[in-house]
């Protein structure tokens, strides 16, 4: 066996080609679950995988599996993977590095004459990003058993379209969602390659991060129901303005994070929509989507409670109705010490400086960790920038 050689130029070309498959004009990358661009992106990856001689399967939620099968091995496979969906106005590396990088790694290993002891499987997870249904890691969440088929069937997008509607766009309507979860031990290990999405590796000039823990994410939807009316005719004392209650809620979200007692609590009101959205009409409805995370469950849950209490108080004070929906409230993932050690030793052998890290972003690894030993490999990203076109 020769030593495997990754072809960086070839990999970069593939990353650039995939980036051009976008709902928005380049350099922006937008690929939302089962959009035309997402379907084309999936076909792009499938073509590379089949050219490499990998077998291909897609499950009922659209997770895709490209497998380097070792025919005489009964051992569970080693898996890797990430996602190719992209939030609106994203860049080209989030998720994609872990998918095309894995394919390039398999190409290099095959070319070197390497004979794996176990099958190696690349997983391209469905909708790691929450854009379509408001919930992140849809594919891995179902694989790991954290979202049941029944719960998934209740999902609706902003226009009220069901998961079934979008699954039929993906040609998956005949498959049974209940068949998606994998048993514990299905894989021997899972390792996800991803950009850091933070500034530390670049700042410290360290090429590799090994992830020890993934922060606990949660998200909420808050709907505020006020009373609309004519902007000229409804006098100020008579108003029940949904936007103003929403604005106070967004400030309370910030306050809950700032006063949680942990510097790791972060909270974002990333969606704020009002109705009817006319300059001369008092807003009657506000819909907020709130993302709250922490490395520690106790402070995350404390902040979550503070936000809920604030919604109640603010809406009572302004005499408007409200509804709170918990979209997801997830625990953190602790990565596997043996795998962390393995990656650290590989770095030492290759003479690559490395750093053990916490992932503040969530990843499909959060849910893979529920079924097999898991860790992640981070690489630097310029300026720590992610979820932006740059
Ligand atoms: C994943 O994209 C996240 O929001 O952490
Ligand atoms: Mn992302
Ligand atoms: Mn990602």
What the chain holds in terms of domains, given with CATH numbers, is 8-215+332-384 (3.40.630.10), 216-329 (3.30.70.360)
Give the percent of the chain with pLDDT over 70: 100
Q: What is the DSSP string of 276-315?
A: S--TTEE--EEEEEEEEEESSHHHHHHHHHHHHHHHHHHH
In whole angstroms, what is the distance from residue 62 CA to residue 214 CA? Answer: 24
In the Cβ-directed half-sphere of 211, how many Cα atoms lie within 13 Å?
A: 33
Q: How far apart are CA 283 and CA 72, in angstroms?
A: 65
Share of the chain above pLDDT 90, in %: 98
Please list, in sequence order, all residues whose beta carbon lies within 8 angstroms of the beta carbon of residue 227, skipping any fewer than 6 positions away: 239, 240, 282, 284, 320
Kindly report, residue by residue over 161-183, the tens digit of the pLDDT. 999 999 999 999 999 999 999 99
Which of 82, 130, 294 maximizes ligand 1 atoms within 8 Å of its Cβ, making it the mutation to test the pocket? 130
pLDDT for position 1: 81
Ligand 2: distance of its center to the CA of 73 in Å?
A: 35
Cα gap 203→299, rounded to integer Å: 28
Asked whether 87 and 387 are in contact (CB, 8 A), the reply is: yes
Residue 99 near residue 84 (C-beta atoms within 8 A): yes
Residue 100 burial (10 A CB sphere; 0-12, 13-18, 19+):
buried
Name the closest ligand to CA 194: 3
Paired residues of 285 in beta bridges: 225, 275
Averaged over 305-315, what is the pLDDT?
A: 98
pTM for the structure as a whole: 0.94
Ligand that lies nearest to the alpha carbon of residue 386, given by its number in the listed order: 2
Is residue 308 pLDDT above 90, yes or no?
yes
E strand or H helix that includes residue 323: strand 321-329
Q: Quote the ligand 3 centre to 83 CA distance (angstroms).
A: 7
Which atom of ligand 1 is least distant from the CA of 94?
2
Quick: pLDDT tens for 62-110: 999 999 999 877 899 999 999 999 999 999 999 999 999 999 999 999 9
pLDDT for 264 beyond 80:
yes
- Separation of CA 106 and ligand 3 centre (Å): 21
Site residues for ligand 1, CB cut-off 6 Å: 129, 136, 361-362
CA of 93 to the centre of ligand 3 (A): 8
* Nearest atom of ligand 1 to the alpha carbon of 362: 5
Ion ligand 3 neighbours, Cβ < 5 Å: 94-95
- Span 116-169, pLDDT tens digits: 999 999 999 999 999 999 999 999 999 999 999 999 999 999 999 999 999 999
pLDDT tens digits for 52-70? Answer: 999 999 999 999 999 999 9
Helix (H/G/I), strand (E/B), else coil: 126: coil
Name the closest-CA residue to atom 5, ligand 1: 361
The pair of three-digit structure tokens given for residue 94, joined into one six-digit string:
């989030």
Strands 216-225 and 285-294: antiparallel
Q: Which ligand is nearest to the CA of 98?
A: 3
Atom of ligand 1 nearest to the CA of 87: 2
Average pLDDT, integer, range 308-323: 98
Average the pLDDT over 3-9 and give the result: 96
Atom of ligand 1 nearest to the CA of 217: 5
**Nearest ligand 1 atom, CA 197:** 5
């Amino acid at each position: 066996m020769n030593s495997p050689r990754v072809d960086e130029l070839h990999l970069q070309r593939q990353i650039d080609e995939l980036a051009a498959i976008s709902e928005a004009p380049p350099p922006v990358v937008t690929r939302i679950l089962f959009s035309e661009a997402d379907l084309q992106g999936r076909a792009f990856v499938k073509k590379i995988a089949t050219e490499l001689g990998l077998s291909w399967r897609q499950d009922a939620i659209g997770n895709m599996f490209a497998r380097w099968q070792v025919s005489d091995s009964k051992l569970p496979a080693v898996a890797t993977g990430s996602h190719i969906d992209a939030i609106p106005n994203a860049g080209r590396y989030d998720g994609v590095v872990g998918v095309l990088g894995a394919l390039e790694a398999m190409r290099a290993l095959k070319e070197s004459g390497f004979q794996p002891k176990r099958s190696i499987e690349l997983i391209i997870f469905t909708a790691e990003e929450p854009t379509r249904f408001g919930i992140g890691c849809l594919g891995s969440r179902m694989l790991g058993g954290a979202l049941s088929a029944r719960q998934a069937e209740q999902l609706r997008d902003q226009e009220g379209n069901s998961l079934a509607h979008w699954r039929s766009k993906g040609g998956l309507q005949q498959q049974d969602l209940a068949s998606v979860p994998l048993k514990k031990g299905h894989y021997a290990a899972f390792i996800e390659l991803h950009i850091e999405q933070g500034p530390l590796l670049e700042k410290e000039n360290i090429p590799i991060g090994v992830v020890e823990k993934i922060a606990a994410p949660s998200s909420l939807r808050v709907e505020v129901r006020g009373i609309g009316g004519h902007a000229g005719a409804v006098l100020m004392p008579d108003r029940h303005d949904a936007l103003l209650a929403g604005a106070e809620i967004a400030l309370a979200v910030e306050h809950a994070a700032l006063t949680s007692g942990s510097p790791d609590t972060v909270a974002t009101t990333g969606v704020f929509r009002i109705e009817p959205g006319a300059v001369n009409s008092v807003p009657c409805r506000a819909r907020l989507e709130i993302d709250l995370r922490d490395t520690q469950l106790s402070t995350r849950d404390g902040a979550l409670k503070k936000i809920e209490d604030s919604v109640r108080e603010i809406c009572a004070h302004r005499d408007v109705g409200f509804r709170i929906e918990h979209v997801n409230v997830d625990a953190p993932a602790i990565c596997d010490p043996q795998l962390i050690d393995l990656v650290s030793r590989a770095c030492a052998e290759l003479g690559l400086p490395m750093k053990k890290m916490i992932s503040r972003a969530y990843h499909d690894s959060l849910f893979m960790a529920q079924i097999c030993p898991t860790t992640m490999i981070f690489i630097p990203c310029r300026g720590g920038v992610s979820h932006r076109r740059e």
